Structure 1
Amino acid sequence: MPTPARLALALAAALALPGAALAVQPPDGGATDPTPGSAPAPADEAAQDDRHVKDLDSVIVTASPLPDTAENLIRPVEVLAGARLDEAKSNSLGNTVNKLPGVQSSYFGPGVGRPIIRGFDGARVQVLSDGLGSGDVSTVSVDHAVTIEPFLADQIEVLKGPATLLYGSGAIGGAVNVVDGRVPQAATDEPLQGRAELRAGSVNDEKTGMARLDGTSASGNLVFHFDALHRETGDYDIPGYAESAEHMAEEGEAPDPATRGTLANSALRTDSGALGVSWVGDRGFLGVGYSLFNTRYGVPGHEHAHGEGDDHDHDHDHDEDAHAEEGGVHIVMDQRRGELRGGLDDLGPFASLRVKLAHTDYTHTEFEGDEVGTVFENESTEGRVELVHRPWAGWDGAFGLQWAQRDFEAVGDEAFVPASQTRDAGLFWIGHRQFDALRLELGARHDRNEIDIDNTGPAARPDRDFNTTSLSAALRWDVSDALHLSLGLDRAQRSPTAEELYSGGLHVATGSVELGDAGLDPETANRAEIGAHWHSGPLTLGASLYHVRYADFIYLADTGIDEHDGPLRAWTQDDARFNGAEASMDWAFADNDSGLWNLRLFGDVVRAELSGSGTRQLDLSVPHGDHAHAYSVELARGGNLPRIAPWRVGGELRWERGPLRASLGAVRYAEQDRVAEFERATPGYTLVDAHLAWHADTAQGNAWEIFLDGSNLLDEEARVHTSFLKDVAPLPGRGVSFGARVFF
């Protein structure tokens, strides 16, 4: 069906779905967006709360040591919470936040999806668990998953623009903070409260169950937290063939009818759990927590083809056994994490002190069939101290100290990165002051980064150390109660990672040979952004324009040379620039006997290119046992950067009435033809999703909810341009998920 016809069908369905729901004529009352464990509201208040999924502008953003609402923060931020978070939750963190303006996801099969913020990904986007790094190695390779489970989150905060001021070198492109409350910081509203959820899905035979409990002792001082999750899926359905037509033509292959409709080796199994306990007093708290995350997932596109007699079978155990027999690549990841957190208020000239400490043991094993290929091990310790001072000369502010140590090792034939020890330490201050209608925010941070590597290999490589400094200024002008304008200026620096400095060998996940450059310098980003926010009654509009100019931008360049039957790519650096824009609209256009109707529209675009001219020469040496192949490559100093997300527009129509709520949305991803040299363009596609939920409160103060979610309802073949697997692993086809939630 042509795209215009599909969009028309989506809009028609968006209008028809709430209309069909109206015919049910449900009784009034019942909250549609409960906060887990909260006490039930009186009947009149509950009816009023039904009309609002959640005012996200009023949600407190905790990623800053100076917490404030999303509405009042000067810096651009997006928050997912409440019913919108429940509807967005997915197997990966990246796919969960994928529909926020300016935020997309990488894709390496259903088990791996890392957030991409305004075109920045990997080592430029920091993923946090309640303000501390996740402790995984998802920045080392695109096939490594983030060890944070979105289904257990209370809310997810996305900081757009450089967050180096708060979280150091790895947040130069932004940060995603997952708030899960695994170490309690305050007493609960009820002695025992929690939530549980069971769901099943059609596109991959998903079976997911989760439970969470929070409670407080009779004395009010001892608070505990418990959560657990289990998920199993089989290989997922796709509209056509795993390999794109262009890829098959390039390889001289013909489609195999036996492989149509299923993405082989895409099964997934995840287990996660945590236990935390805190002592909470009048002036502070002290708590500990322990958590585990274990996942097994196939790597699509890296398995042998199915034979003619293979049947499509979603049974998880059958899938995993079949993959082992066929030699498919699958990954087993295990992480154990211990945390200590504490806080103290009212310290004379200081308003509060917060201390966070986490130790993480991480193991990632890649299997080829039933044979161990490569084992990645990572042991990390991170600490953070935040000291909020009382107003000094009119300035509210906070000092912060952050340090981390990482011991990383890869063992196996495909260990393309040597063992390394990384130590980071940073000191920062951030503060703001109000001047009538103007609010000014200033900040500064200095970091020291050291990388020591294992030099037992054939070629000695130098250890490196770096000093980076970041400065920030932001201004907000309240032109009126309805209109706010903002301006942000940043100078941020990022140190090269061990992967960028020392890679040297075949990287099976990307199917390429990757070479690092031990002489890389820190990259420096200078950002300018202007934004506007206007609201009047039921209508809210927001827009922003930004420009980022990089000096010594580090990127993985395709050289056009084949090595080991795959492309040779080299880490290098040059000047670059990013230009982008975002816009959004929320309009509650009707609130009457038919219910509350809300229309949301958004769009974003980013253009990223090298800013030089002419060419430069790159001399490369590819190790081959006890010798090496030498190449001299000319790289263009201009042109597009690789794997940049395309522009997109999206919309969502929501309806709420009594215990019912429904929504239908569509997002159009444009064709990405602004590609780097040796990179193939990606066709555009439209993804349509729908959600329906029925909520009810009980006389005992508990609540339950039955839900039905639909994804990719048009069954489009969708290939993510930011993915290394775009030509061999499309997104899942049409799928329906259903289940129940209980709040108590």
Structure 2
Amino acid sequence: MKSMRHRVPSPHLLASALALALAAPTVLAQNAASQATDLKAVVVTASPLKGSAESVATPVEVLYGDELDRNKAATLGDTVAKLPGVQTTYFGTGVGRPIIRGQEGPRVQVLSGGLGSMDASTVSADHAVSIEPFLADQIEVLKGPATLLFGSGAIGGAVNVVDGRLPDQLPDTPLSGRAEVSGNSVNNERTGMFRLDGVNGNWVLHVDGMIRNTDDYDIPGYAIVEHDDHDEEEEDHEEEEQVKGKLPNSSIRTRAGAIGATWLGEAGYFGIAASTYRNNYGIPGGAHEHAEDDHDHDDDDGDEAHEEEGDVRIDLVQNRIDMKAGIYEPLSFLQSINLRAAHNDYEHVELEGGTPSTRFTNKGYEARLEAVQKEWNGWRGAFGVQLGSTDFGAVGEEAFVPSTTTDTLGVFVLQEKDFGALKLELGGRYDRVELDPADRGSRDFSASNLSAAAIWRISDGFDLRFGVDRSERAPTNEELFAGGVHVATQSIEIGDQDLSTEKGLRGEIGLHWHTDRVDMKFAVYQTNFDDFIYLADTGVAEEGFPVRLWTQADATFRGAEAEARIALADSSAGAWDLRVFGDYVRAELDGSGTRQVAFEVPHGDHTHAYQVDLAQGGYLPRIAPSRFGADLNWSLGGWRASLGAVRYNKQDDVADNEEPSPGYTLVDAHLAYRWDRPASSWEVFLDGRNLTDKEARPHTSLLRDYAPLPGRGVGFGIRAYF
């Protein structure tokens, strides 16, 4: 019988995350006008039906415009981390992958223009996403399963970056673009970017580029947390080695750019773009460096080895070609047929003291063909096929996953109909996934996905939203075939070749409320997983590393999130508005007691066999803590400013052998002035982050004991739009 522990979220914890977001609009609603305002239509390009963000029944957030400019960061995860229900992993300033409602890695698909990034970021926590947020036009975050659109890798959601390299329509002017030069005091950042779009008849020519250099970033205090179980000699040794106020080996060097050409005609369109992304970033001490100290060797040899290896850096290069084409009204019942394809060549080399140690590659393609039907009896829809193949390679000292070829094939259908007060969205998808490793037999998986969502418009400004999804995810190569030391997680990871597909059943209820003064969104959700795949701590240690086993068990994710934007005043003194938000998620295994598991650990040219008891219940590791925040915004003429804070509560709902994390509050401020010229606009800005210089260690980070977030920093720069 499954354990009933913690089946309902703790009321006081849920209240602390959501009270601020719910209380303010409730008070103001008594005096707010009942007439709903028209929200700006922001088109969600990830869907072939391309509805506005507000008209889509499935939960989605879109970052664009001034809000995107304020939140752009060096990583995609940091850029979207202030959206409700979204946080980020953290492995130094070079690595941050989005976490959506507590789910990350292979459950959250990261896309560029609707196709996968095809990098190696899901393989290890220290691998960066190969997409540059500074070059984005808008970023779309799809919460909950996006498996209908993107396959089993999106069972937890998807983040789609729209960069405009292959535009959908002709720009309004013959030549347009933007440029930015900026810096930051916390890491001596120097960043510059530009973008140009030119029109010649039906052709749109595009070019963009970006360069970023940073030094090691400032931190409050020391990087490494001192634990009570260290003896005095170890503490003295660590204190001597640490540098106060600076995180060593946290610098970044990034280069990115693209060229593209698109022809947009009355009967169809065609476009092709070539892009490159190059990122050299340091891995802060604590993963590679501290793990090395755990090996058995005498002191002299250890000192010599450490001196020879030096700092660990990752040198990443991705070259990519994107293509899209389409035909309008090819048949009497079709509105269009659209093709999107990409070919990718990814490589990153882990350098120890400047010497190559491990090389990861991922080469392949992805293509998506979709047909959008004309409206029939009120139904709008699309259907299509998606296929891809990637050849992942890993060679070197830390190649704990074998080289693997992965082939995918999926077919899908989406349908929607507006009945007036009720809008209904339905969909289904079937995927076939084959993984063929170089050193053992292949595995095949089938994944079926069904979804239903609805909007019930109770009034012009108030609607309820419902969603039910049944989704499946095929295991990844690291979950199936891992077998060795994974230095980034400071452990030995052992895969399970007999894993089955992971199945999730999600239910969600939400509401949207819009008046002249208040825009509010609220949602509660629960996902029940059968055969949830997770990394379990076995309690066994080999060569100083804990052994962790990829295994399966039933699990439940449940949570809530809310956001409200409130117009406080609009007078000669300026326009004032308040944004408040909060989110909460709890994730735990459903079972109780223990179960016996047998496994083998590679050891040189032989293996060590173990049999252990794994806990059937308990919390899952590194789940994002609850939080709430507020931003007060002001604008007058060309001026705009904001002051905000986010409170991250302590996380003590932790897994076995996982330490709880203390809470912290981050305070930010922004100031900008924009002035218009006849053919251009200019903006100067100041961005202050972590203004109280708070020591913050995210619970979601594997490096939280070794690498805190950056301390107080002031960003500054100038933007031009023309």
Whether TM-score is above 0.5 comes out as yes
CA RMSD in angstroms, aligned pairs only: 1.7
Match of 1:365 among 321, 328, 349: 349
Q: Which residue of 1 aligns with 2:296?
A: none
Change (3 A) 1:230 1:689: same
Cα displacement (A) at 1:340: 1.2
Q: Which residue of 1 aligns with 2:147?
A: 164
Q: Which residue of 1 aligns with 2:641?
A: 662
Change (3 A) 1:545 1:233: same
Distance of 2:93 and 2:608 partners within structure 1? 37
Match of 2:194 among 200, 204, 211: 211
Q: Which amino acid counterpart does residue 702 of structure 1 have in structure 2?
A: S
Does residue 743 (structure 1) correspond to residue 721 (structure 2)? The answer is yes
Q: Is the 8 A contact 2:584 2:627 kept in 1?
A: yes
Match of 2:324 among 341, 346, 350: 341
Show CA shifts across 1:95-123 (max 9, x none): 00000000000001100000000000000
Does residue 253 (structure 1) correspond to residue 235 (structure 2)? The answer is yes
Show CA shifts across 1:485-519 (max 9, x none): 01100000000001100000001111111010000
Q: Which residue of 2 aligns with 1:681?
A: 660
Show CA shifts across 1:195-244 (max 9, x none): 00000110000000000000101xx2111110000000010000011111
**Secondary structure of residue in 2 paired with 1:140:** coil
**Secondary structure of residue in 1 paired with 2:223:** coil
Q: Which amino acid counterpart does residue 239 of structure 1 have in structure 2?
A: P
Distance of 2:328 and 2:62 partners within structure 1? 27
Distance of 1:421 and 1:504 partners within structure 2? 17
**Secondary structure of residue in 2 paired with 1:151:** helix
Q: Which residue of 2 aligns with 1:694?
A: 673
Does residue 190 (structure 1) correspond to residue 190 (structure 2)? The answer is no
| Mapping 1:584-733, distance limit 5 Å | 584-698=563-677, 700-733=678-711
Does residue 510 (structure 1) correspond to residue 489 (structure 2)? The answer is yes
Change (3 A) 1:109 1:56: farther
**Secondary structure of residue in 2 paired with 1:716:** coil
Distance of 1:97 and 1:613 partners within structure 2? 36
Q: Which amino acid counterpart does residue 246 of structure 2 have in structure 1?
A: T
Distance of 2:444 and 2:533 partners within structure 1? 17
Q: Which residue of 2 aligns with 1:523?
A: 502
Q: Which residue of 2 aligns with 1:140?
A: 123
Q: Which residue of 1 aligns with 2:376?
A: 392
Cα displacement (A) at 1:701: 2.2
So what's the TM-score if we normalise by structure 1? 0.88
Cα displacement (A) at 1:162: 0.2
Cα displacement (A) at 1:326: 6.6
Does residue 225 (structure 1) correspond to residue 203 (structure 2)? The answer is no
Q: Which residue of 1 aligns with 2:276?
A: 292
Change (3 A) 1:149 1:55: farther
Mark the runs of 5 or more structure 2 residues left unpaired by the alignment.
1-15, 21-36, 291-305
Q: Is the 8 A contact 2:288 2:487 kept in 1?
A: no
**Secondary structure of residue in 1 paired with 2:328:** strand
Does residue 180 (structure 1) correspond to residue 158 (structure 2)? The answer is no
Match of 1:482 among 450, 461, 465: 461
Cα displacement (A) at 1:366: 0.3
Distance of 2:221 and 2:39 partners within structure 1? 39
Q: Is the 8 A contact 2:87 2:100 kept in 1?
A: yes
Cα displacement (A) at 1:247: 7.5
| Mapping 1:1-20, distance limit 5 Å | none
Q: Is the 8 A contact 2:169 2:264 kept in 1?
A: yes
Distance of 2:235 and 2:539 partners within structure 1? 22
Distance of 2:461 and 2:477 partners within structure 1? 48
**Secondary structure of residue in 1 paired with 2:235:** coil
Q: Is the 8 A contact 2:309 2:352 kept in 1?
A: no
Match of 1:438 among 407, 416, 422: 422
Match of 1:111 among 62, 84, 94: 94
Change (3 A) 1:268 1:284: same
Q: Which amino acid counterpart does residue 102 of structure 1 have in structure 2?
A: G
Distance of 2:687 and 2:481 partners within structure 1? 45
Distance of 2:85 and 2:307 partners within structure 1? 39
Match of 2:409 among 411, 416, 425: 425
Show CA shifts across 1:346-400 (max 9, x none): 2321111110110000111001112211000110100001110012332100002
Q: Which residue of 2 aligns with 1:242?
A: 223
Q: Which amino acid counterpart does residue 241 of structure 1 have in structure 2?
A: Y
Q: Which residue of 2 aligns with 1:40?
A: none
Runs of 4 or more consecutive aligned structure 1 residues displaced over 3 Å after TM superposition: 54-57, 247-252, 302-305, 323-326
Change (3 A) 1:248 1:63: farther
Show CA shifts across 1:427-449 (max 9, x none): 00011011120111100000000
Cα displacement (A) at 1:284: 2.2
Cα displacement (A) at 1:565: 1.5
Distance of 2:307 and 2:197 partners within structure 1? 40
Show CA shifts across 1:444-473 (max 9, x none): 000000011112xxxxx3310011100000
Q: Which amino acid counterpart does residue 694 of structure 1 have in structure 2?
A: Y
Distance of 1:263 and 1:157 partners within structure 2? 32
**Secondary structure of residue in 1 paired with 2:398:** coil
Distance of 1:646 and 1:185 partners within structure 2? 39
Q: Is the 8 A contact 2:53 2:62 kept in 1?
A: yes
Change (3 A) 1:247 1:284: farther
Q: Is the 8 A contact 1:434 1:440 kept in 2?
A: yes
So what's the TM-score if we normalise by structure 2? 0.91
Change (3 A) 1:247 1:81: farther
Q: Which residue of 2 aligns with 1:31?
A: none
Q: Which residue of 2 aligns with 1:566?
A: 545
Cα displacement (A) at 1:325: 7.1
Q: Is the 8 A contact 2:694 2:711 kept in 1?
A: yes
Distance of 2:562 and 2:72 partners within structure 1? 23
Cα displacement (A) at 1:304: 5.8
Distance of 2:44 and 2:231 partners within structure 1? 49
Cα displacement (A) at 1:675: 0.3
Distance of 1:64 and 1:532 partners within structure 2? 22
Distance of 1:716 and 1:469 partners within structure 2? 46
Q: Which residue of 1 aligns with 2:256?
A: 272
Distance of 1:714 and 1:248 partners within structure 2? 30
Q: Is the 8 A contact 1:266 1:299 kept in 2?
A: yes
Show CA shifts across 1:268-298 (max 9, x none): 0000000000111113210110000000000
Distance of 2:353 and 2:119 partners within structure 1? 24
| Mapping 1:1-40, distance limit 5 Å | none
**Secondary structure of residue in 2 paired with 1:246:** coil
**Secondary structure of residue in 1 paired with 2:489:** coil
Match of 1:413 among 397, 411, 430: 397
What is the count of residue pairs matched by the alignment?
668
Q: Is the 8 A contact 2:627 2:647 kept in 1?
A: yes
